[in-house]
Amino acid sequence: MIRLGILGCGQWGQNYLRNFADLPERACLAAYTDPDARQMASVQRRFPGARPARSAAELLADPAIDAVVVATPSSTHGQLVADALDAGKHVLVEKPFVLDVAEGTDLVARARSAGLVLMVGHVYEYNPAIQRMRQLMAAGTTGETYYIESTRANLGPIRQDVNALWDLAPHDVSIMLYLLNTMPAHVSATGASFFNNGRHDVVFGSLAFPKGVVGHLRVSWLDPRKVRELTIVGSARMMVFDDLNPLEPIRIYDRGLQQVPSYQTFGEFQLVPRFGDIAIPRIPMVEPLRAQCEHFLDCVEGSARPRTDGEEALRVVTVLAAMQRSLALDGAPVKVDPPNAAPPESWQ
């Protein structure tokens, strides 16, 4: 039985509480803490068996706690993860891992040296639909990949400690790296802060991957409707992932452009559209966060290696940091220097 502590009881903290509480044969919710008294009271009503702690320091000092979940504001992740590792706890931290590459590199080294699990909540890598898309791409279903485009937008919520890039784009960057199994060579990003608060409310980013593959993302806190969509355009077929359609999250379009002889000019070709069928694969109804929580428990128990470990998260932070530098340079391309952490086995 793994005894868990939860640092942060906001929306994501309570999602973690719910999922781990539904795994009573494997995990025990030992303690929780949050600076908001209302959140603490809400958790106490829902999970009376867990102990409220007055602070993160008090929770981490409990020798009976084996692992912690860090679901606090992004700007606090680095210090809390460091404190948890120093206290000998395994850690699952929400995205973004940290806001600084050097800090992330240090935390990865600490976890490795201490023999502790350090895992980051890149939850889409546990989504059966995204996993199926990766399998289909690897099998050649879409042919040669041309580009990947993602949109993640809604009206709020507005974060107080990070901009829309660091709040929303970690998901899309992690998905692109996962699907393509490689890092971009350089990135660029532009955006705007319409409320003049020093934080970009909307960001448009481009990622230049090897073999000419282009990644493009749009993240926004100012859209009138919620959109969570990703499109893959390949030489053979195209795929669209709609995270807001749980019954049919993937559609495969047998469409594209093909070369045909030109009847006007002998020996030349012209491109004409090809329209084929639309396939909708059957995707199992699995809550990605539940799968992520179960995988974390597997890793703490020693039966698995974290799929989204500190090294993988550091690669995402490296890309985001480069995009942040491009924002400061009004969209100028910025080279992405891969972190020192070893690539995942599938990249070797």
Lowest mean pLDDT among 104-108, 157-161, 174-178: 157-161
Q: For residue 169, what pLDDT is reported?
A: 98
Burial of 152 (0-12, 13-18, 19+ CB in 10 A): buried
The answer on pLDDT for 343 being more than 50 is no
Question: Among 47-51, 192-196, 306-310, where is mean pLDDT lowest?
Answer: 192-196
pLDDT, one tens digit per residue, over 106-127 is 999 999 999 999 999 999 999 9
- Where exactly does CATH 3.30.360.10 map onto the chain? 125-285+316-347
The answer to whether 70 and 7 have CB atoms below 8 angstroms apart is: yes
pLDDT band at 264 (very low <50, low <70, confident <90, very high): low
Q: Which two tokens stand for residue 323?
A: 């995009």
Q: Which of 18-32, 68-82, 273-287 has the lowest mean pLDDT?
A: 273-287
Q: What percent of the chain has pLDDT over 70?
A: 94
Q: Are 207 and 189 in contact (CB under 8 A)?
A: no
State mean pLDDT over 82-96: 98
Question: Where in the chain do CATH 3.40.50.720 domains reside?
Answer: 2-122+289-307
CA distance 336 to 150: 20
Domain 2-122+289-307 in CATH 3.30.390.10? The answer is no
User: Span 290-306, mean pLDDT?
Assistant: 97
pLDDT attached to residue 275? 79
Predicted TM-score (pTM) of this structure: 0.93
Average pLDDT over residues 174-188: 98
> What average pLDDT does the segment 326-336 reach?
97
Q: Is the pLDDT of residue 345 over 70?
A: no
**pLDDT at residue 273 in the model:** 76
Cβ 91 vs Cβ 29: under 8 Å: no
pLDDT score of 340: 62
Average pLDDT value over all residues in the chain: 94
Is 125-285+316-347 assigned to CATH 3.30.360.10? yes
98 contacts 317 by C-beta, under 8 angstroms: yes
Query: Average pLDDT in the 136-143 region?
Result: 97
- Is 216 a residue whose pLDDT tops 90? yes
pLDDT score, position 331: 98
> What is the distance between the alpha carbons of residues 315 and 335, in angstroms, rounded to a whole number?
13
Identify the band that residue 10 occupies on the pLDDT scale cut at 50, 70 and 90.
very high
| Mean pLDDT for the stretch of residues 9-21 | 96
For 35-39, 82-86, 271-275, which range has the lowest pLDDT when averaged over its residues? Answer: 271-275
3-state secondary structure the chain: CEEEEEECCCHHHHHHHHHHHCCCCCEEEEEEECCCHHHHHHHHHHCCCCEECCCHHHHHCCCCCCEEEECCCHHHHHHHHHHHHHCCCEEEEECCCCCCHHHHHHHHHHHHHHCCCEEEECHHHHCHHHHHHHHHHHCCCCCCEEEEEEEEEEECCCCCCCCHHHHHHHHHHHHHHHHHCCCCCEEEEEEECCCCCCCCCEEEEEEECHHHCEEEEEEECEEEEEEEEEEEEECCCEEEEECCCCCCCEEEEEEEEEEEECCCCCCCEEEEEEEEEEECCCCCCCCHHHHHHHHHHHHHHCCCCCCCEHHHHHHHHHHHHHHHHHHHCCCCCEECCCCCCCCCHHHC
